[in-house]
Amino acid sequence: MKRRQLLKLAPVALAAGAVPALAVEESRIIVLFRRHQELVDQAEAYDSGTAISDNEDADEIMDRLFYNEIFQIRDEIMATPCQTPRDFAAKVIVATCRGAVIPDWDAGDLFKEARALVA
C-alpha cells in the first residue's frame, strides 16, 4: 500500500476506533474521592433503607460500617496537595459534605489551600 492510500485511510481508521485512546491516570485524590463517594452513597442508602436510626447503637454501627473509613479517606484527601483543578473540585465536595457545610475560613484546610493556590 502506498503512502497516499494510507493517508486516505487514516480518517476511517480513527472513526472506527483503530487508534487506542490515551489512558489518563487518575490522581491519588481522585482515586480516594471515588471510594469516598461510594461509601457515602452506601451509608445514605443503608440509613434510609433500614431502621438503623431507631437502634441506640446506631452511631457506633454506622461508624464501624461506613464512617470510620469515610473520615480516614477524607483526612488523606485533605492532606494531599492538589495537582489539578479536578483534585481541588473533589476536595470541595469532600470538605463541604457535598455542599451541606461550609468549612472555617481561617482554620479550614480547604480555604488554606484555596488561598495558597490563588496567591
pTM of the model: 0.73
Encode pLDDT of 37-87 as tens digits.
Answer: 999 999 999 888 777 667 788 889 999 999 999 999 999 999 999 999 999
Encode pLDDT of 20-45 as tens digits.
Answer: 556 678 999 999 999 999 999 999 99
Answer whether 78's CB lies under 8 Å from 98's CB. no
pLDDT of residue 16: 55
pLDDT of residue 15: 54
Which 3 state secondary structure label does DSSP give 47? helix
Distance CA 38, CA 10 (A): 41
- 99 or 30, which is more confident: 30
